[in-house]
Amino acid sequence: MMKQILKKEPNGDSMNRVDGRLKVTGAAKYSAEYVIPNMVHAVLVSATITTGTISSIDTKKAERAPGVLAVVTYVNAPKIPGYHTGDDPAKKTTTGQPLRIFYDNKIFFNGHPIAMVIADTFERATYAASLVKAQYKEEPFTTNLDMNRTKGTTPGGGRYVDYVRGEADAYKNAPVKIEEEYTLATEVHNPMELHAIIALWDGEDRVTVYDKTQGVKSTQHSIADAFKLEEKNVQVNSHFVGGAFGSALRTWPHEIAAIMGAKKVNRPVKLMLTRNQMFTLVGYRPLTIQKMGLGATKDGKLVGITHESYSQTSVYEEFSEGSTNVSRFLYASPNANTRYKIIPLNVSTPAPMRGPGEATGALALECGLDELAYALNIDPIQLRLINYAETDPEKNLPFSSKYLKECYQIGADKIGWDQRNPKPGSMREGEWMVGYGIAGGVFGAYRGRAVAVAKMMADGSVNIKSATSDIGPGTATAMVMIASEYLGIPAEKITFDLGDSSFPTAPTQGGSATVSSVGSAVHDVCVALRQKVNQLAGRPAEDQSTLNYVDVLKQNNLPVLEITQESKGGDEGKKYSMYSFSAHFAVVHVHAVTGVVRVKKAVAVVDAGKIVNMKTAKSQMIGGVTGGIGMALTEEMVFDDRFGRYINNNLADYHVPVNADVPQIEAVFIDKPDPVINPVGTKGIGEISIIGFAPAVANAVYHATGKRIRQLPITVDKLI
């Protein structure tokens, strides 16, 4: 891969969002906001039992209600050709299968959709949905993870299977050891924008959707697969997405239902989940119990790390995440072993949520390490430095880049670590106990295959397209900045289009990999475009001196110059271990009488390779740290195991941090390009921004109070 460093534009490191004005003025159109002629509205009806079968379902009243066009249930639902029966042994997998909506009368979880009412207005559909009545045959169920730990299975394959380096459970024989258990509550994504889809059929074999999704190509693929259509006959539009955090990584049953409904009534159908349904129908971060064993010599050298994790999945589908992986390589211990079990419960299937696996795993490892630091009487940062992994102890490979030491140093300076009295419960400001905490994290740096097409017009303006998405990080802005740098023309002359499945392919926006994947394609297409223009001008392809594109196109009688470029990584992953790293710092105040915890100061220092847009990158960090405050102090889906349902599935009772809960957040980037992963040198920010922040808060709460709370969120009842 050719790397060309061009002179950067002034302020090239920070740019306002190219679509910022559209977003703040309401001109940006989100999926549910399209007005399609003849469009009608669908509302889902949810099961009120947790497990069993529908014995009868009465839709008559709903059908007779004003404005109703159809009521779809398993009894009359059009068959979805892509829903296989499950009886075919060739198609049977150990991982179960996604929920097949209106497929049969089985109920797998409380809230399982049992009917869809389609009416001429949303209000009429909502009213008619309240008239659908089902009779059930209930069956026993269980929704309690803790009580069912022994029923866990180990997911097959990859890094989910048990891992041993050196000797298993070696921590047990170490001179100093800790052995503790940490619980992270179920968390929900619940982005501001509700999940929504508009579906319209254009004939028997063509469908167009406006859909909230993180991947227009993956959605195109799954719709084509479900309805057995040609992919080119499925058009997916997702121009703006109002947050997702992982909830829109896959195609959910409500999307299939809307497309099914549009076919049934032969009109465009809009289906938007209610806020209540957002808590059960689009995944969540699964409740996870982790056991951590850490052993060290008296001078702090780790002897053994043992990390066990139990998390929930549904009875119909396996969901797994790498919650123990971080313990295999973040620290240089000669012995390390991990065990991971998932337990099927009568709940809906979880989904990846910001920092999936690592955010959960870092809680156990980084709180455990803090406990070990106190047991050893060694400063927590010092303990991390003593066990710093210069190379990846799991894969036995060098890191492509790692500036975690610098992260510790900068963070310690910025938070004022030297003012911290190491003794727990020793610092006070009036009625408030004061605590300092540190924790860190890692997240894999990935790169997928992406294609971009660039068009240069006669006036020198450039448009680039790729079928990526933007769930909020500012993708188009970053792409414009990359193009500006490698074409050597001002950002104002460049536009970038995304969110359309007819564009050249790009991966789903997930795993913090968009700038790495799509940014590389933009880099490559711009380098190719520049070389082409050089050739047209009779210059060497590599010439980097200033060039008047307009003149070159004019001299060659070219009204437009178009280039498409595919971009993907090679075998770097076999030679290097590639990760983003974080060191998070928090100062908390804990009220001595009421137990209220306030995060007073937050410093997040991240090595994520080169930062393309400092402004939006910092916004990512602010979002991630805010999510970390939620994870540490407020966010918890509470199950009532007697009824098998959530009792707080609304945003009044499920607490996300609000403005008053969030201090000034200082986000700092090392901003050194990774020399290996891709031509731009970026490693990914979205996930690492949250990974490690919650344990930093938990560790700070311990330092403030001397109370170790191992069940997150740390609510006042646990502190007083």
Nearer of residues 427 and 621 to ligand MOS, judged by Cβ = 621
Smallest distance from ligand MOS to CB 285, Å: 9
Nearer of residues 534 and 689 to ligand MOS, judged by Cβ = 689
For residue 127, give both structure tokens: 């009213």
DSSP conformational letter for 631: I
Nearer of residues 309 and 508 to ligand MOS, judged by Cβ = 508
Active site residues: 687
Nearer of residues 361 and 380 to ligand MOS, judged by Cβ = 361
Q: Which residues pair with 135 in a beta bridge?
A: 56
Question: Which three-class secondary structure string do you get for 326-380?
Answer: HHHHCECCCEEEEEEEEEEECCCCCCCCCCCCHHHHHHHHHHHHHHHHHHHCCCH
Residues 613, 619, 623, 629, Cα dihedral to 10°: 120
Task: Assess whether the previous peptide bond of 89 is cis (omega < 30° from 0).
Answer: no
User: Which one, of 445, 483, 680, 454, lies nearest residue 566 by Cα?
Assistant: 454
For residue 190, give both structure tokens: 């619940």
Helix (DSSP H) and strand (DSSP E) numbers for the chain: 17, 29
Smallest distance from ligand MOS to CB 573, Å: 18
396: left (phi over 0), alpha (psi -120 to 50) or beta: left
Question: Which three-class secondary structure string do you get for 147-158?
Answer: HHHHHCECCCCH
User: Which one, of 171, 440, 389, 175, lies nearest residue 291 by Cα?
Assistant: 171
Nearer of residues 344 and 352 to ligand MOS, judged by Cβ = 352
Q: Phi/psi of residue 42, each to 5°?
A: -115, 140
Strands of 96-167, DSSP E = 106-107, 113-119, 133-138, 163-165
Contact of 681 with 152, CB cutoff 8 Å = no
Smallest distance from ligand MOS to CB 287, Å: 17
Which residues of the shown chain bind ligand MOS in the complex (CB under 6 A)?
214, 245-246, 249, 352-354, 356, 510-511
Smallest distance from ligand MOS to CB 692, Å: 16
Smallest distance from ligand MOS to CB 120, Å: 35
SS3 state of residue 711:
strand
Smallest distance from ligand MOS to CB 288, Å: 15
SS3 state of residue 42:
strand
Smallest distance from ligand MOS to CB 249, Å: 5
Smallest distance from ligand MOS to CB 360, Å: 12
Nearer of residues 346 and 348 to ligand MOS, judged by Cβ = 348
Sign of CA dihedral 27, 29, 33, 38: positive
Nearer of residues 443 and 503 to ligand MOS, judged by Cβ = 443
For residue 681, give both structure tokens: 């040198």
User: Which one, of 538, 461, 516, lies nearest residue 678 by Cα?
Assistant: 516
Q: Which residues pair with 46 in a beta bridge?
A: 113
Nearer of residues 142 and 580 to ligand MOS, judged by Cβ = 580
Smallest distance from ligand MOS to CB 280, Å: 18
Angle at the Cα of 208 from the Cα atoms of 204 and 211, rounded to 5 degrees: 140
Nearer of residues 247 and 306 to ligand MOS, judged by Cβ = 247
CB atoms within 10 A of CB 317: 17
